[in-house]
């Protein structure tokens, strides 16, 4: 995406999806049209968009619970998930501080004009976002 003159993109990082979704909804309710929520992964790819939720009976794999990688597609196979399962954030062994950098794996992006950037920044910060 290329921004037009007078536009800017604000990126804020959140520690959980609820806070990110709340900020995105508040931005949309305030009239911002270009708002997007993404999950940031140290692996550079998200294999499925939804975490397996054990409370909802959707705990398919251990990597699905921790790395959002239980979904299968033509690019991901069981061997790949075995390697992902060896990650310290999944197994609990090894480096206890190996999680997502900064502890914030959800990102909200909003595109706005320069004149409305201050309000968008305030909404993001009020919902727990780090810019």
Range of the domain at 52: 43-98
State how many domains the chain has.
2
> What pLDDT score does 73 carry?
46
Both tokens assigned to 54: 């054990």
**Residues 63 and 36 placed together within one structural domain of the fold:** no
**Residues 89 and 131 placed together within one structural domain of the fold:** no
Query: What is the spatial distance between Cα 68 and Cα 51, in angstroms, rounded to a whole number?
Result: 5
**Residues 85 and 55 placed together within one structural domain of the fold:** yes
Range in 6-10, 15-19, 57-61 the model is least confident about: 57-61
Query: Residues 76, 69: contact at Cβ < 8 Å?
Result: yes
Question: What's the mean pLDDT in 21-29?
Answer: 96
**Residues 75 and 62 placed together within one structural domain of the fold:** yes
Query: What is the spatial distance between Cα 69 and Cα 17, in angstroms, rounded to a whole number?
Result: 16
Which helix (H) or strand (E) segment holds residue 8: the answer is strand 7-14
**Residues 116 and 106 placed together within one structural domain of the fold:** yes
Residues in CB range of 22: below 8 A, 6 or more apart:
127
Query: Residues 116, 7: contact at Cβ < 8 Å?
Result: no
> What pLDDT score does 105 carry?
78
**Residues 68 and 86 placed together within one structural domain of the fold:** yes
Per-residue pLDDT band at 3 (split at 50, 70, 90): confident
**Residues 94 and 105 placed together within one structural domain of the fold:** no
Query: Residues 17, 114: contact at Cβ < 8 Å?
Result: no
> What pLDDT score does 72 carry?
47
Closest C-alpha to 82, from 73, 74, 90: 90
**Residues 52 and 94 placed together within one structural domain of the fold:** yes
**Residues 71 and 116 placed together within one structural domain of the fold:** no
**Residues 89 and 48 placed together within one structural domain of the fold:** yes
**Residues 32 and 56 placed together within one structural domain of the fold:** no
Write out pLDDT tens, residues 73-126: 445 566 666 666 666 666 566 555 555 545 677 899 999 999 999 999 999 999
CATH of the domain at 31: 3.30.70.2750
Give me the chain's average pLDDT, please.
Answer: 75
**Residues 56 and 89 placed together within one structural domain of the fold:** yes
Q: How far is CA 72 from CA 9, 60, 82, in A?
A: 32, 11, 13
pLDDT higher than threshold 50 for residue 41: yes
For the chain, what percent of residues have pLDDT higher than 90?
39
């Amino acid at each position: 995406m290329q921004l037009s003159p007078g536009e800017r993109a604000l990126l804020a990082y959140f520690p959980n999806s609820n806070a990110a979704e709340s900020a995105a909804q508040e931005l949309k309710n305030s009239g911002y049209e270009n708002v997007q929520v993404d999950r940031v992964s140290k692996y550079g790819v998200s294999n499925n968009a939804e975490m397996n939720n054990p409370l909802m009976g959707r705990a398919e794999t251990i990597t699905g619970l921790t790395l959002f990688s239980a979904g299968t597609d033509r690019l991901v196979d069981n061997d790949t998930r075995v390697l992902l399962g060896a990650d310290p954030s999944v197994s609990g062994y090894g480096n206890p501080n190996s999680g997502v950098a900064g502890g914030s794996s959800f990102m909200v992006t909003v595109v706005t004009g320069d004149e409305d950037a201050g309000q968008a920044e305030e909404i993001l910060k009020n919902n727990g976002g780090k810019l």
